[in-house]
Each structure stands twice: as structure tokens, then as C-alpha cells.
Amino acid sequence: MAQVLEFKLPDLGEGLTEAEIVRWLVEVGDVVAIDQPVVEVETAKAMVEVPCPYGGVVTARFGEEGTELPVGAPLITVAVGERPASGEGDAAGAEGSGNVLVGYGTSEAPARRRRVRRERPVSGASAAGSPAVTGQGAAPAAVNGRAGARETEDGPVPVISPLVRRLARQNGLDLRELTGSGPDGLILRADVEYALRAAARAGAAAQPHAPVPQATSTATAPQPTAPQPTAPQPTVTAAHGEIRTPLKGIRGAVADKLARSRREIPDATCWVDADATELMRARTAMNAAGGPKISLLALLARICTAALARFPELNSTVDAEAREVVRFDHVHLGFAAQTDRGLVVPVVRDAHARDAESLTAEFARLTEAGRTGTLTPAELTGGTFTLNNYGVFGVDGSTPIINHPEAAMLGVGRIIPKPWVHEGELAVRQVVQLSLTFDHRVCDGGTAGGFLRYVADCVEQPAVLLRTL
């Protein structure tokens, strides 16, 4: 007799109380192994896959895709100790791993069941060399030159970005019918767009008077490209000329944090223009010497951590309940990154103890994780100071909102040639605007001005930084 066990949405950590179901990875009747991911959810921090601690046959799922569930709500029920009648795989025993933490599993890799899709008849369009249109309006790609049956694995399909997965779902496209053009068959955004355009063309040929879905790109063939930003999908149209988009997930979390920062933090901003010519020359010389390339963001981070060592008041937070300023002896440096899913602030742990090469590598890793939606909650929390390089958007200055509960944020504008008085003569120099937004409760303007002036001095004369190392 099989025992039916209920698996509830686990505590995902970092104070998260709910999550939105993005995509189910199993169907009712599927066999799951212990610690196999069963659902992909989006929290206010990141996109994560949730593993089930039980092995057996899925008997029920709770919640449709797009539904928000609180922590502790049922996700699925699993019948353990039962074998499927089809013989497609073996259910695991009645014992579970006891581990429901996201991202962790048992020491053995979970077994995966393979399933062969039934062969579908090839339409005249397919025989002529055009993609056939499935019942979902999608165009299946050939597998190694075969347009017929295809063998697939249960579980997540390799997709470059959660946004690409969502694009396919919103257009009724089965990703298992595609073969990705990326490395190891990775499905790219261009692959999905190509399939949608093929489906639109085939639909237009079959029903010339029917509305044709608009393609999302003008490309004529799938190319390995990075995902492009997409606008949030409106879910409710309230009235003529009105489109409402729920503030939830990461967008909602950002809205809540920014609103709280404005309510609680009496912030002030000071700024200064600096001649960055020598800093740019120093970076060019470092990269010309060979070895891993050093990013400009990494050099700015080194300057930032050195400035915080001289002005530690800004590396702090305010405990409003205790009416205390809490100063940190470490620098966990957050940096603002714009991604397809909105603004995120990944955190470089112990940035004060890293050299420029290590900082460059960590910035690159976290930026890529943010782009693909794989940042963990731990990588998005715990920052003590934020570096905001808004110059990448082609703007000179900004008065950003402090990343609550931190006490300050350094902003860096674009570096562009400008007229500048250098050594008593007018010259064209590489000029940048630096700004510091700070919590006026942790320090006065003299401290904030001293910090910003030191940063500007290091930008103008990198040798100043060497004296502090």
C-alpha cells in the first residue's frame, strides 16, 4: 500500500514568506526521485528550483503557474512505495532525504526518468522543408536532422534565461519541441523567437484572414545572442487607456524597499567632478601587462573600500528600535545591476579583502547570475555599502535612493572627454561625476564630503590609493 505524503513550500530563507509558481517541472502521474526539483518559483529575491524530499509518484499539484503561495502551503503530494503501472521508472522508497533546503540535495545525483514522445505525422509543410505547427502553435525543431520522434528528459529544459522560458509559456510553445542553438543544446531567446515566427507564418498560410501573432524580433534566423530586456507583462486592463501591472516578485520587493528607504532614511547627496584620465591610463597599463583583464568597476570598488577604511561611519546601518548606529568591520559591497527581471543588487562578500583581479571575477560571476535569474537569496542580501555605476546608461549624475538598511551609496556617472584645466592650462580630459548619497543620521556633511573627496583624489591620482595599501 502506497503512503501519500504532502510536500509543502519550504522556508526559502532570508525572511521570505511567499513565492510565485513560475513553472511546474513535473506532471501528475510522473515519477520523481528524492531531491528532484519539482517546481520553479520566483521569490522577492531570486528564481529558484524547489526539490522534493520524497521519491514516488506525483498524485496532486497545488497552484497554477502565476499563483503566489505562502511558505507552508501544500505544493504536491507524492505516493511513496508504489511503482508506476507503465514501467517507465521506479519510485523511490518510502524514506525521504529530510532535506528541503533549496539548492541542496543528497550526495547521489537524482535518477531521472526518460520518456519517448510518440511520433507525430509530418505535415506537407514539414515535408517541404518548413517547420510543422503543433497544436500549441509552436514549430518543433529537428533533432540531428530528424523532425519526427524525439527523446527527452523529464525535468528542466536547458534554457538561457527564465525570461525566455516565460516567453515560450506565454505563447504556448513547448520547449521540449526545440533544439537549442547554444552550447550543449542550450535554448536561446532567438530559438524561441524563430519558432514563434515559423508558427505565425504557417498559421497565416493556413488561415490568411486570421490575425497573425506579431514576432518579437526581426531576426531571420536564430543566433546565439544574450536575452534582451522585456517589459513586464500586463495582467489586468482596468479601463480604456489603463494598463495595470501587479507589483510582485522582484519588482514588488524593489518597490517596497525603495519606499521604506524614502520613509525612514533622512538622506542627503553631495557630488563632485573628477579628472579620471590617470585612472583610465592606469587600467590600460594594467591590462597591457598580461593576465586577466581588470574591470573599471573593480578599480572603483578598490577605491571605495579604501575610502570606507578611512571613513567607517558610512559602512554602517541604523538600528532605529535601539536608536544605535551599528558599524561593520567588513565591507560587503553591493552593486546595482539592471537585468531583464528588473534592478537587482548582488553583494560581493568581503570586498575589502579582495584585490582587483578577484573583484573583477566576482563582479562578472554575479552579473551573469543576475542576467540569467540564478542569483540566490544569500547573494542578494547582507550588503553594507552600495556602488552604483549608472554611467553605463549614458548619464552624468543621479541622486539614488539608498539601499535600505545601508547608510550610503556611491554613484559613478559616465566618463567622457570634457574641457578641463590641467596643470594651469585648458585641456581635454576624461571627466566623471561622482556622487554620494548618505544617511544623515550616521554622519555629518564633513564626513560625507571627506569620503567623496578622497574617492575623487584616488580617481585623479591613483598613486594616492597605493599609499593606503
**Sign of CA pseudo-dihedral 29, 30, 34, 38:** negative
Read off the C-alpha cell for 168: 515560450
Instruction: Report the SS3 class of residue 429.
Output: strand
Distance between start and end Cα atoms, the chain: 69
User: Distance (Å, rounded) from C-alpha 324 to C-alpha 338?
Assistant: 33
Task: Report the candidate in 67, 76, 95 with the shortest Cα–Cα distance to residue 25.
Answer: 76
Task: Report the candidate in 47, 46, 41 with the shortest Cα–Cα distance to residue 25.
Answer: 41
- Residue 47 pairs in a beta bridge with 42
The CA-atom distances, in angstroms, between 145 and each of 118, 129, 142, 180 are: 17, 11, 5, 13
User: Distance (Å, rounded) from C-alpha 247 to C-alpha 225?
Assistant: 29
Backbone dihedral region for residue 191 (phi beyond 0: left; psi -120 to 50: alpha; all else: beta): alpha
User: Distance (Å, rounded) from C-alpha 293 to C-alpha 360?
Assistant: 8
DSSP string computed for 174-233:
-GGG---SSGGGPBPHHHHHHHHHHHHHHHHHH-TTSPPPPPS---SS----PPPP-PPP
Q: For 123-137, what is the HEC assignment?
A: CHHHHCCCCCCCCCC
Write 349-353 long-range contacts (CB < 8 A, 24+).
Answer: 349/382, 351/301, 351/304, 351/305, 352/305, 352/308, 352/309
Backbone phi and psi for residue 143, each to the nearest 5 degrees, phi listed first: -110, 110
Read off the C-alpha cell for 252: 514588488
Read off the C-alpha cell for 150: 524525439
Whether 273 is a known active-site residue: answer no
Identify the active-site residue in 11, 352, 444, 457. Answer: 444
User: Distance (Å, rounded) from C-alpha 98 to C-alpha 113?
Assistant: 22
Identify the active-site residue in 256, 319, 422, 440. Answer: 440
Whether 440 is a known active-site residue: answer yes
The CA-atom distances, in angstroms, between 401 and each of 64, 353, 404, 440 are: 36, 27, 9, 13
Contact 158/187 with Cβ under 8 angstroms? yes
The CA-atom distances, in angstroms, between 213 and each of 135, 165, 167, 218 are: 15, 18, 13, 13
Catalytic positions are 440, 444
